[in-house]
Amino acid sequence: MRRLRMGMIGGGPGSFIGPVHRIAAELDREIELVAGAFSSDAGRSRAAGEQYRIDPSRAYADVATLIAGEAARADGVDFVTIVSPNHHHLPAARAALAAGIPVLSDKPATATLAEAHELADVVRAAGLPYALTYTYSGYPLVREARARIAAGALGTIRKVVVEYPQGWLAGEASGKQAEWRVDPARAGEGGCIGDIGVHALQLAEFVTGLRVTELLADLAAVVPGRALDDDCTVLLRFENGARGVLLASQIEVGELNGLRIRAYGDRGGLVWKQEEPNSLTLYDLDGGCSVVRAGTGLLGADAAARTRTPGGHPEGYLEAFANLYRDFAALLRGEPAPLLPGIEDGLRGMAFIAIAVAASRDRAGWVPFGV
């Protein structure tokens, strides 16, 4: 069976997430990077193509050229992955889908909620695979947490605490990664809420299988002179009445990428932490505490299928990311991939940014949340 051919949009020199997507896409050898419009600067796109070791003729100067060039080849790309800053997501996805090319996109879906609605219309009209790399839902133990909650291990969910502490923007934002994230023109109206808050929301909904229906947001730009929020507190209500707290911050000095979730029902509780991703802690009402470890026989089918090494051989971020590409490859082959985030998740993420930013600005208290 041949490998699927991937084109990349964005991911040029200095990109962190471009190489991550490349590694993740190719990890299982189902997909191969063959082309890209890595930068809007032709020279930089070529340089990236060399770094990625692709055929130089397939390192394009822009998205339109990429699409045209690949369409003209018998071995053209099977899909594109979009890894550029947020404001490029909509035009890139629209162009690809218009040309009949499926799209995998980094999150968030777009730069604004309006764009996300537009993109949703495009995706629905196109009828082509479209998915979003909410990376953390690719971790095997996150899948396990979801499966166990779905099977009733915690009883009825009552409380969810999802935290995403980082500290890397506690000082001045310098460097390519930082600069666009604090610039409204490129990041959109959300700073921290859009960069990592949406991951936390998606994780909370993914793990619990419950939708948030109300929120109360308190966002702030803590670092002097910053235009976008860098510290977010959002209270949540889920559709079943469960209470939630979502904390995300980029100014908590010393925190690296501390995403974690705790969920409690009327029969049990669980804890998962991204920085120690290969185990899941479960509690019961009698004081019992058990630790489910990756690579042991205690994982359910979904988590087990997404683990590549035996127990005690740590897997991490790249492998979790690769699990989303594996799901997307299944989708392209016509198989189901029900847990792969799609445009609906994208819409929810963008709505979350828009509603949280507005509610916080207006000190609006509790407001409805939904798409």
Nearest of 39, 85, 88, 89 to residue 66 by alpha carbon: 39
Binders in 297-316 for a copy of itself, by CB under 8 A: 297-298, 308-316
| Residue 265 vs 342, nearer CB to a copy of itself | 265
Interaction residues for a copy of itself, span 253-282 (CB under 8 A): 253-258, 262, 264-269, 271, 274-278, 281-282
Q: Give yes or no for residue 172 binding a copy of itself (CB under 8 A).
A: no
Give the residue, chosen from 64, 185, 227, 285, that forms a contact with a copy of itself under the rule CB under 8 A: 285
Binding residue (CB under 8 A) for a copy of itself from 291, 344, 361, 368: 291
Site string for a copy of itself, 199-238 (x = CB under 8 A): -----------------x-x-x-x--------x-x-x---
234-237 own/partner pairs: CB under 8 Å, 24+ apart: 234/193, 234/197, 234/201, 234/356, 235/366, 236/160, 236/204, 236/212, 237/212, 237/213, 237/366
Calpha distance 322→286 (Å, rounded): 38
Report the 10 Å Cβ neighbour count for 297.
6
CB of 358 to a copy of itself, least distance (A): 15
Q: How far is the CB of 265 from a copy of itself (least distance, A)?
A: 7
210-248: burial string, b at 16+ Cβ within 10 Å, e else: bebebbbbebbbbbeebebbbbbbbebbbeeebebebbb
> x/- site string to a copy of itself, residues 135 to 164, per CB under 8 A?
-------------------x---xx-x---
Closer residue to a copy of itself, CB minimum distance, 91 or 311: 311
HEC string for 131-171: EEECHHHHCHHHHHHHHHHHCCCCCCEEEEEEEEECCCCCC
Per CB under 8 A, contacts with a copy of itself among 330-369 are 363, 365-366
Residues 22-51 that bind a copy of itself (CB under 8 A): 22-23, 26-30, 33, 50
